[in-house]
Amino acid sequence: MSKRRVTLFAIIILSFFSLIYTPVREELVRLVSPLASGAFYLGSKTAGIGNALVNNFRDKNALVYENSMLRAQNSLLQAEVLDRSVLQGQIAQLEGTLGRSKNNNLVAANVLEGFSQSPYDTLTIDVGTNQGVKNGDYVAYGGVGVVGFIAETTETYSKVKLYSSPGEEYLVLIGSHLIPATARGKGDGNFDAKVPQGSAIVVGDVVTVPKDNLVLGRVTAINQKEGAPYATVLFRSSFNPTEIQTVEVVVGTH
Amino acid sequence: MLKRISFDVLLLVMVLYFPWWVAALGAFTGAFLFASYYEIFLFGVLFDIIYGVPSAMLHGLMGIIGATIFYFLGSLSRNYIRPVYK
């Protein structure tokens, strides 16, 4: 075997080893994370400057129209948040009475790179063990909807694996009757779950994760065949995973 | 040599700031243009370190697996289509 081939195979084997052997991988992640965080921060600042420059050339009327649309949408969202805050207060009061107070230790984090950047359905966020984040902690969006969990963490940054990652399976509760089911990730914020035929589930029902009642999504369709023992429930996240800019890590839920 | 270094810097930018399929195209292009483009394995490892997790698809090894495939495909394509670019 020629020297070149030996070199090639040695490089390939070494590369795989560095990723498969956990201690080496963890050390590499620890070394690369500050550089990657810095690079992503620089990238976001550059993109911000670029957007500001481009906006100078946009049609003024289009900007005015977009501004009015966004203001209207903002008012609607504020009303919805107010309504939800009132309900949350009532729920917290009831849970306190029943002796089931939640752990609301939330750590806010910025998304450094979104899930469209890689084929892994992961997010990179700018908090880590320095902020008390540990592997397995839930990651929420808007304080209510759950996005995924911490899959890998260093001192300053962490990787969030989305629940909708293809092949992932989780126990969920569907609808007002809290029907248990195993949800499977289909990618891009989509899930499916099998429930017994005739279950009291309708389109629009909320799907939650058992712990802390965090919302995973809403039912979008129910596929059932006559005579089949199971129906397939399709549901998706209430938000677009590609638009997530900030998340909250629910520390202590691992 | 300068062309190779410049391309490596460009590929690093693709890995950090562009969608994964842009980086994949860039990696294949590098393997096609340059002989013994071993840097592709470094970028594959870097990609998996930055974005991958062990519990993800293919145990978080998509970057290095893709780098290996692109290296061999690029080398074969280069040998059959064009002279070696040193």
A151-161 residue pLDDT tens: 999 888 899 98
A105-126 residue pLDDT tens: 788 888 887 656 677 888 888 8
CATH of the domain spanning A105-254, picked from 2.40.10.340, 3.40.50.1100, 2.40.50.100, 1.10.357.10: 2.40.10.340
Could you give the percent of chain A with pLDDT greater than 70?
A: 80
Is the pTM higher than 0.80? The answer reads no
Q: Which residues contact A157 (CB under 8 A, 6 or more apart)?
A: A33, A36, A37, A112, A124, A125, A126, A127, A128
Domain boundaries, chain A: 3-55, 105-254
Mutate to test the interface with B, among A19, A153, A154, A165 (most CBs of B within 10 A): A19
Which phi and psi angles does A17 have, rounded to 5°? Answer: -60, -40
- pLDDT confidence of residue A55: 66
Bigger pLDDT: B68 or A198?
Answer: B68
| A143, A172, B26 from A182: Cα distances, Å | 23, 6, 39
In a domain, B64, yes or no: yes
In a domain, B86, yes or no: no
Task: Give the integer Cα–Cα distance in Å for A252 and A249.
Answer: 9
Which phi and psi angles does A87 have, rounded to 5°? Answer: -65, -40
Report yes or no: B37 at the A interface, CB cutoff 8 Å: no
Q: Which residues in chain A touch residue B50, judged by CB atoms under 8 angstroms apart?
A: 32, 36, 118, 124
- pLDDT confidence of residue A56: 66
Q: What's the domain range around B44? A: 2-81
> Could A151 and B53 be called an inter-chain contact, meaning their C-beta atoms sit closer than 8 Å?
yes
> Does residue B65 carry a pLDDT above 90?
yes
Task: Give the integer Cα–Cα distance in Å for A61 and A65.
Answer: 6
pLDDT level of residue A78 (50, 70, 90 thresholds): low
CA nearest neighbour of A44 among B46, B17, B20 = B17
- pLDDT confidence of residue A47: 72
- Provide the number of structural domains found in chain B: 1
Task: Give the integer Cα–Cα distance in Å for A99 and A92.
Answer: 10
Helix (H, G, I), strand (E, B) or coil at B63: helix
> Does residue A147 carry a pLDDT above 80?
yes
> Does residue A104 carry a pLDDT above 70?
no
> Does residue B57 carry a pLDDT above 90?
no
> Could B16 and A19 be called an inter-chain contact, meaning their C-beta atoms sit closer than 8 Å?
no
Q: Which residues in chain B touch residue A116, judged by CB atoms under 8 angstroms apart?
A: 19
Per-position DSSP letters for B17-56, written without gaps between them: HS-HHHHHHHHHHHHHHSTT-THHHHHHHHHHHHH--TTS
In a domain, B65, yes or no: yes
